[in-house]
Amino acid sequence: MFRVQSGGRVIARPQRTERGTEVRDAAPVPTAAAVLPPPAVQPVPVRYSSLPPVVTASAPSRTTLPQTVSPDEARELLRRGPVPAALSVTGPLNLSGAAWLRALPDWLRCTVLTVDDCPNLSALPTDLHAERLSARRTPALQEIDGRLSVRDSVNLNGSGVRVLNADLRATRLSLAGCRDLRVLGGGVSVAHLDVSGCATLTAIHPDSHLTQTLELAGSGLTALPPSIRAGLRWSGVPVDARFAFAPETLTGHEVLNTRNAQRRRVLLDRIGLDRFLQDVGGLILHRDRDAGGERQLVHVPFDNDEPLVAVLVRCPSTGGRYALRVPPQIRTCAAAVAWTAGLEPGDYQPVREA
């Protein structure tokens, strides 16, 4: 017998027995190459869904796939509790007026999220994707952070928000009437921003991105970062930076010479009635006296608008002079003062004025 090695195998010539029958080897003798382990198989990633897994705050080492539910199922799920870490809703989620609502999922996807008039809601999702978000009149909602991606509008009018420092993307952001708002952080990127009535807001972060309009009537803003070049609005009327941030430079004659009635009204509101009348005077329609001294009813005509009629009075205690605008049909000082008190002239008979 002889053996030949070929390709890692051993081939043996058949042996003959005494009777001439052939006997083959029961098994070839393996070589070193034949005993190597097979190559490692690379694992194929498994895709569960298009929604990414979410790391829960209570167990950061574990992941949870978001639940996908209908709007009614989502409402019942949140009402019963506990609040899931992640939730995907197949339509609009309307939780308006839900006094039981205190928290929302950290990770939330829905078409529209509405949480108006929810008195105990203190936080929004830290990762929200939606078409629209409305959280009006939510006094416990004081700080907003995280990532809010909203295609259309975010409405927080009249909420208790004090600090908005979120990575927020939307077409419109309205914070009208948020009287406690102090901080508007640098992660905000919107086309239209409304901060009217936000009296404690004195500055906008220079990293904020605002592309089209800024409504600022009644806000505490005194200037804008150079990076923001949006068109300024005051009660919806286009204005310039001088009107918005330096009203002390405006004059009564500018108001009088403004032909557009709507713009003239906001100019008059900005300059104030007292200073306007000090600058331009007016036609005296009537005068009399009260405990504070002489009163005057003055008339100022406007082009393309009703005339301005105001009663000028003095406070008996301080001696301060005040101008009060009244309807243009009033013709006496007594009728004007009675109108400011919500009374008819014959019903306004104060015993003592202080």
> Tens digit of pLDDT for each residue in 188-218?
999 999 999 999 999 999 999 999 999 999 9
**Based on the number of CB atoms within 10 Å of its own CB, is 231 exposed (0-12), middle (13-18) or buried (19 or more)?**
middle
What per-residue confidence (pLDDT) applies to 87? 97
What per-residue confidence (pLDDT) applies to 64? 60
Q: How far is residue 318's CA from residue 123's CA, in Å, rounded to a whole number?
A: 47
Nearest Cα residue to 205 out of 229, 187, 232, 191: 187
Average pLDDT of the segment spanning 226-253:
93
Which of the four pLDDT bands, split at 50, 70 and 90, describes residue 185?
confident
Q: How far is residue 224's CA from residue 116's CA, in Å, rounded to a whole number?
A: 30
Q: Which helix (H) or strand (E) holds 273?
A: helix 273-280
Phi-psi label, residue 249: left if phi above 0, alpha if psi -120 to 50, beta otherwise: alpha
Q: What share of the chain is helix, strand, coil (3-state, %, to 5)?
A: 15, 30, 55
Q: How far is residue 340's CA from residue 328's CA, in Å, rounded to a whole number?
A: 13
Residues 6+ apart with CB under 8 A from 37: none
253 is written with which tokens? 């004659």
Average pLDDT of the segment spanning 58-70:
65
Among 12-21, 72-81, 228-237, 261-270, the least confident range: 12-21
Q: Which helix (H) or strand (E) holds 147?
A: strand 147-150
Among 119-128, 232-241, 315-324, the least confident range: 315-324
291 is written with which tokens? 């405990």
Nearest Cα residue to 271 out of 293, 242, 250, 298: 250
Count the residues in the chain: 354
Average pLDDT of the segment spanning 63-84:
90
Kindly tell me if the per-residue pLDDT of 83 is higher than 90: yes
Q: How far is residue 249's CA from residue 241's CA, in Å, rounded to a whole number?
A: 11
Residues 6+ apart with CB under 8 A from 290: 313, 337, 353
Among 16-25, 106-115, 295-304, the least confident range: 16-25
What per-residue confidence (pLDDT) applies to 349? 64
Q: 3-state DSSP call for residue 334? A: helix
What per-residue confidence (pLDDT) applies to 37? 52
Distance of CA 207 to the CA centre of its chain: 16
Do residues 286 and 347 lie in contact, with contact meaning Cβ atoms separated by under 8 Å?
no
Average pLDDT of the segment spanning 28-36:
47
% of residues, the chain, pLDDT over 70: 80
Average pLDDT of the segment spanning 11-33:
47
What per-residue confidence (pLDDT) applies to 39? 52
Count Cβ atoms below 10 Å from residue 77 Cβ, excluding itself. Answer: 17
